Structure formats: structure tokens, C-alpha cells
Amino acid sequence: MANQVSSLSENIVIALNTVYTMWLREMLRFRRSKSRIIGSLATPLFFLVILGTAFNSSFEMRGGGQTNIDFLAPGIIGMAILFSSLIGGVSIIWDREFGFLKEILIAPVPRFFVALGKALGGVTTAMIQGTLIMLIAFVIGVEYQSYIGMAASVGVMLLIGLGFIGLGIALASQIESHEGFQLIMTFITMPVLLLSGAFFRIGDLPSWLKTLVYLDPLTYGIMALRYTLMGETEIPIHICIAVLFLFAAATIGLGGYMFQKAKT
């Protein structure tokens, strides 16, 4: 039968079309949720301003003329990407609850590419938020090393975002209620954030804690951002990029696989 033997190029067109459609949906929704965008910017900026100022007056960071707010900025951007991308992936739970997931699952398109499109849409959202925070921080006085570094940071945000959105999709494909969502937020987001070196230097830590920090994928994201934005890092940049890349590939693969098995 002719329509069973579709050519490779036809499949590629279908795959790209599916990815684009799912991406487009995320963008259309993003455009409608202005209050969500503002809300999602406020939390990281509170962290940056209040923690940055408090750390400054309560203790002195070792080394260099760098102020604490400069040290914190990459960590806060990483935090925003973490929140935004995990929520983006986990939003599949809402799609299921409001029924739209059925409309997607019954469409004659490969589910792996549905998941990929959803991921790219969520990551785009996360990158827009991360970039806005980076720029607002700049306006309120954070000093970055260079414009090229700022541009490179957007690429790092992409890698961090893909990693965590893939994780979010994999988890959401298994979890059926939004109580599950609360569990994810408590038992994944917080440890991942607190262990990441977003708020402290790794070198000063006791070795048990240091091990946990090295096991946290977000650590490599924060270090990469600190490298591109501030020109300093405690982990060599090529290792950071390699780890981020592998993490993203692994979770996107896992997320796509789990989504194929997702229940309606």
C-alpha cells in the first residue's frame, strides 16, 4: 500500500511539522500569559536584590573586587531557567487534566516529536525569561565581562533548559495527578537548586557536600553561566558544556520515550 511506505523525506517533513506545531502552541500560550511572565521574573529578582545586598553587608566574599550581587547573578539566572523549564515539562500534567493531551495523542503524528516540540517551546519560554533577568540585572548594576559573554550565556541557558524540561516531560508522563506535581517541586527543584553552587563557592565545602554538588547537573549550568558572564568558574568550561550536553541529550531521549508510553 502506497500510504504505508512513506519515504524518508516525507517522514522528516512530518517530524519537523509536528515539532513546529507544538512549539507554536507554547508560544501562543506564552503570549497570552503576561502576568505569568511578570510573576516569574519577580521571584528571581527578589532573590538577586535581597540576597545580594544581605550577603554584601553581612560577610565579605573572598578574592577579587567582585561584589556579591555579581557572584549571585548567574546563579539566579540558572534558578529561573530551572523553574521555568521544569514547569514547562511538567505542564503535560495540566494538558492531561484539561483534556488537550487527548487531542495531541490522537493526531497521526509521531509522539516523540510531539514531546520534542513541547520541549523546544518550553525552553524558548525559559530562555526569554532568563535573558530578561540577565538584562534587568545588568540595568540594576550587575557587571558582566562582555557582550559576547552575554550572548554565549543564552546558549548555555538553552542547554540547561533542555536538560530539565526533558526531565519534567519524563516525570509528567508517569504522574497522573497534580499532587504529583507538588512532590516534584519539593523533592527535585529545591535539592537541585540548593546543591548547585548558585549561592556559594564549591571550594569551601566539606567533601561529602562537595560530592553531592558535583552530582547535581545544575552545578555545571551555573558554572558555565558564571564563566560566560563573569569570566570565572570552579569547573573547567569544556567539562561544564560536555556534562550539560550529555544531560540534555539523555533527558530529552528519556522524556520522548516516556511520553510515547504516556497514558491518556
Partner 1 sequence: MNTPAIETFNLTRRFGDIVAVDNINIQVNNGELFGLLGPNGAGKTTLINMLSTMVTPSNGSAKVWGADITKNSSLVRKNIGMVFQGTTLDDKLTGKENLDLHGRLYGLPKQLRKQRIADVLELVELDDKADVIVKTYSGGMMRRLEIARGLMHHPKVLFLDEPTLGLDPQTRNHIWDYIRQLNKEKNVTIMLTTHYMEEADHLCNRIAIIDFGQVKALDTPENLKNALGGDVIILSVETRKLASRLLDLYNRNGSAGSVQQKDSSIYITIKDGAGQIPHVLKIASDAGINVLSVDLHRPTLDDVFLSYTGRAIREEETSSVDRIAHNLQARRH
> Can residue 103 be called a binding residue for partner 1 (CB under 8 A)?
yes
> Can residue 206 be called a binding residue for partner 1 (CB under 8 A)?
no
Question: Among positive and negative, which fits the CA dihedral 239, 244, 250, 253?
Answer: negative
> Can residue 108 be called a binding residue for partner 1 (CB under 8 A)?
yes
Q: Of 22-30, 48-56, 146-154, 236-244, which segment contacts partner 1 by CB under 8 A?
A: 22-30
Nearer to partner 1, 137 or 262 (CB): 262
> Can residue 4 be called a binding residue for partner 1 (CB under 8 A)?
yes
Nearest Cα residue to 146 out of 232, 213, 228: 228
Q: Of 94-102, 129-137, 201-209, 236-244, which segment contacts partner 1 by CB under 8 A?
A: 94-102
Nearer to partner 1, 3 or 207 (CB): 3
Is 166 within 8 Å of 89 (Cβ atoms)? yes
Q: Of 19-27, 49-57, 203-211, 223-231, which segment contacts partner 1 by CB under 8 A?
A: 19-27
> Can residue 187 be called a binding residue for partner 1 (CB under 8 A)?
no
DSSP string for residues in 180-197: HHHHHIIIIIHHHHHTTT
Q: How far is the CB of 106 from partner 1 (least distance, A)?
A: 5
Nearest-angstrom CA–CA distance, 220 and 244: 7
Is 230 within 8 Å of 141 (Cβ atoms)? no
> Can residue 33 be called a binding residue for partner 1 (CB under 8 A)?
yes
Identify the burial level of 2 via C-beta atoms within 10 angstroms of its C-beta, where 0-12 means exposed, 13-18 middle and 19 or more buried: exposed
> Can residue 32 be called a binding residue for partner 1 (CB under 8 A)?
yes
| Count of other CB atoms within 10 angstroms of residue 16 | 12
Q: How far apart are the first and last CA of the chain?
A: 30
| Count of other CB atoms within 10 angstroms of residue 217 | 20
Is 255 within 8 Å of 170 (Cβ atoms)? yes
Nearer to partner 1, 25 or 210 (CB): 25
> Can residue 204 be called a binding residue for partner 1 (CB under 8 A)?
no
> Can residue 38 be called a binding residue for partner 1 (CB under 8 A)?
no
Cell digits for 103?
487531542
Nearest-angstrom CA–CA distance, 113 and 3: 20
> Can residue 20 be called a binding residue for partner 1 (CB under 8 A)?
yes
* Residue in 21, 53, 124, 145 binding partner 1, rule: CB under 8 A: 21
> Can residue 102 be called a binding residue for partner 1 (CB under 8 A)?
yes
Q: How far is the CB of 261 from partner 1 (least distance, A)?
A: 12
* Residue in 38, 64, 100, 141 binding partner 1, rule: CB under 8 A: 100
Binding site for partner 1 (CB under 8 A): 3-4, 14, 17-18, 20-21, 24-25, 28-29, 32-33, 98-109, 264
